[in-house]
Structure 1
């Protein structure tokens, strides 16, 4: 079975792939989500301060890797990709929690996004509170 996934925009970022952090809280820069202009109405209720989960397609990631060395640390045992946040996986979907800093039409400025410039954006979702707080 296959599914069609439509790219809705792209990331504009200064993130240097050679110096990229393993997690956003380790120094990822602010970035812009540049969405297709046809999605203006879908962005209408977004505002500074909103917390989102950005879903991206990690288009440069390997799709045939099943076991990785977490954080490229040889002291850690090889681990199946489903137990890691490695971009290498059968369907390289990135999941990035961010806070909205500003919205300009279909351009959304977000904090700490560990995605490279040009990374395809496939969806945005409002972040949910942890289970114990719901």
Structure 2
């Protein structure tokens, strides 16, 4: 059994630097394409436009030496430990992005188009998870 962390794809975004990236996706983050490695095509089988999903990313531009940051980058606010913030600057910078799928292409070059995401161009994608929902007793899980 393979127990390595594998990258399943990469974000293609107009965001190219941490300075221009919004602090959260609801702050005018752009739509982005996520290119999925074709080996994972079968894993995309039930994805559809309109689905809400969680993208887990590796925030590769993070400064892993930071343990405290000013919330939202505001130097007038007291520093906080990174584990109590959403700052990408942390020892293991995993990004959690709740997005809506706008388009799904399961062809030769699989991809998904997502609504606003604050990930930079080239950000590795680690996984795609459905947003948990409540099931009625008569629904199939």
TM over 0.5: yes
Q: Deviations over 1:31-72 (max 9, x none)?
A: 011010011110010000000000000111111211111111
Separation (CA, whole Å) in 2 of partners of 1:115 and 1:91: 15
Separation (CA, whole Å) in 2 of partners of 1:119 and 1:5: 15
1:113 equivalenced with 2:117 (yes/no): yes
Give the stretch that moved more between structures: 16-25 or 33-42.
16-25
Aligned match for 2:126, one of 116, 122, 125: 122
Count matched residues: 128
1:74 equivalenced with 2:78 (yes/no): no
Q: Quote how far apart the aligned CAs of 1:4 are.
A: 3.1
TM-score normalised according to structure 2 size: 0.86
Structure 2 residue runs of 5 or longer lacking an equivalent are: 135-141
Q: Quote how far apart the aligned CAs of 1:20 are.
A: 1.4
State the match for 2:11 in structure 1: 11
State the match for 2:56 in structure 1: 55
The structure number with the bigger radius of gyration is: 2
Q: Quote how far apart the aligned CAs of 1:129 are.
A: 4.3
**3-state SS, counterpart of residue 26 of structure 1:** coil
Q: Quote how far apart the aligned CAs of 1:128 are.
A: 2.1
State the match for 1:43 in structure 2: 44
